[in-house]
């Protein structure tokens, strides 16, 4: 359904790279609901080239979680090259380079979205990656730096000329961070100006949003980002809608509880109970977003430390 270089993906609905969220447990949950492609959490090239222990742990993947990509953040070609030396010992299907991250300390270092202001530097890094990494290389960009410098089209053309094999575009500029309107037009302009696949990102929280993105931009694929937090059902919703125009019923409380507790199990298997429980506390608000009991629920879940305490609070919601 979507081909990036030689990599054939079974569908064009992908899990977005999500630093601090898309650990193995999160990715496996999304897979269970039909996600066709995931990314491990973004990795800083400098940290990876130093073989930082935490960073190396992030590289572990599950055979059920394939095909899978790795995303690099960086702005110095030698560190990016060294990071690729490390990554070559692992079996990732795709390498994405991040020119989209809006975080202040990242951009201050000249990394992430700041690279959109430095096309020549970006070009040098992309050329180095393409000549070193044997599998498909992609780039993730924003619409631009701010409303006055929306240069996604220029950057996309440069990327294509460097041998990049697909472009992920978040239709917001860096100044917008994650708020404000998504610029569908600029994604459409990117699509028209390159021949490689364009995968669009921004405000896809439902099947209708997914359709709107495809219709308005002509994109080849979409990324599900915040729309998947506590809502892995969105992958099924989108695929069912595209298959037969129907929207499956929203999950009931029991289904949400079962999935959340399964997610907890996966997180414990990955991180151990002590780390997994705090990670999963933040997911509780997402899984029950919009429910009238979400506020008191957050208060009850915040102090819990063990699997038993977590499970007791969640099980008490059955039948509500
Ligand atoms: C918590 C969080 C972490 C993110 N981490 C990354 C990341 O590591 N790399 C990246 O390219 N984009 C990252 N993004 C951006 C998303 O991939 C996506 O492009 C953006 O959220 C817009 O989509 P949405 O409006 O559907 O959420 C992150 C977004 C969020 C909310």
Spell out the domains of the chain, with CATH numbers in brackets. 2-244 (3.20.20.70), 253-315 (1.10.1200.80)
Q: State mean pLDDT over 43-51.
A: 88
The Cα–Cα gap between 126 and 132 comes to 10
Q: Are 97 and 66 in contact (CB under 8 A)?
A: no
Q: How far apart are the first and last CA of the chain?
A: 40
304: which DSSP letter?
-
- Model-wide pTM > 0.85: yes
The Cα–Cα gap between 42 and 311 comes to 30
Whole-number Cα distances in Å, 81 to 4, 107, 140: 22, 20, 18
Q: Residue 81 contacts by C-beta under 8 Å, 6 or more apart in sequence?
A: 128, 132
Residues with CB under 6 A from ligand 1: 16-21, 42, 71, 98, 100-101, 140, 170, 178, 201-204, 223, 225-227
pLDDT digits (tens, 9 = 90+) for 243-261: 999 999 999 999 999 999 9
Q: Residue 186 contacts by C-beta under 8 Å, 6 or more apart in sequence?
A: 143, 144, 150, 152, 153, 169, 171
What is the 154 CA–ligand 1 centroid distance (Å)? 22
What is the 14 CA–ligand 1 centroid distance (Å)? 12
The Cα–Cα gap between 301 and 11 comes to 36
pLDDT digits (tens, 9 = 90+) for 112-152: 999 999 999 999 999 999 999 999 999 999 999 999 999 99
């Amino acid at each position: 359904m979507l081909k990036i270089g030689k990599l054939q993906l079974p569908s064009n609905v992908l899990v977005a790279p999500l630093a601090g969220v898309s650990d193995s447990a999160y990715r496996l949950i999304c897979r269970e609901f039909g996600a066709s492609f995931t990314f491990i959490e973004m990795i800083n090239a400098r940290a990876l080239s130093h073989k930082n222990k935490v960073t190396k742990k992030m590289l572990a993947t599950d055979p059920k979680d394939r095909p899978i990509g790795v995303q690099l953040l960086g702005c110095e070609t030698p560190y990016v090259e060294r990071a690729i030396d490390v990554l070559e010992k692992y079996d990732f299907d795709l390498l994405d380079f991040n020119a989209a991250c809006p975080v202040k300390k990242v951009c201050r270092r000249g990394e992430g979205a700041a690279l959109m202001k430095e096309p020549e530097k970006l070009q040098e890094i992309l050329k180095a990656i393409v000549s070193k990494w044997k599998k498909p290389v992609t780039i993730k960009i924003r619409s631009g730096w701010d409303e006055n410098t929306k240069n996604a089209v220029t950057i996309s053309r440069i990327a294509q000329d460097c041998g990049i094999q697909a472009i992920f575009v978040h239709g917001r500029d860096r100044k917008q961070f994650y708020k404000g309107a998504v610029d569908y037009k600029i994604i459409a302009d990117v699509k028209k100006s390159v021949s490689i696949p364009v995968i669009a990102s921004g405000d896809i929280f439902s099947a209708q949003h997914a359709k709107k993105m495809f219709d308005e931009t002509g994109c080849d694929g979409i990324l599900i980002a915040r729309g998947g937090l506590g809502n892995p059902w969105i992958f099924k919703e989108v695929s069912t809608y595209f298959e037969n125009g129907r929207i499956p019923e929203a999950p009931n409380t029991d289904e949400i509880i079962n999935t959340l507790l399964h997610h907890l199990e996966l997180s414990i298997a990955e991180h151990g109970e002590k780390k997994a429980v705090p990670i999963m506390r933040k997911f509780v608000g997402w899984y029950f977003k919009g429910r009238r009991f979400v506020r008191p629920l957050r208060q009850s879940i915040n102090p819990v430390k063990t699997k038993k305490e977590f499970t007791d609070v969640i099980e008490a919601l059955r039948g509500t």
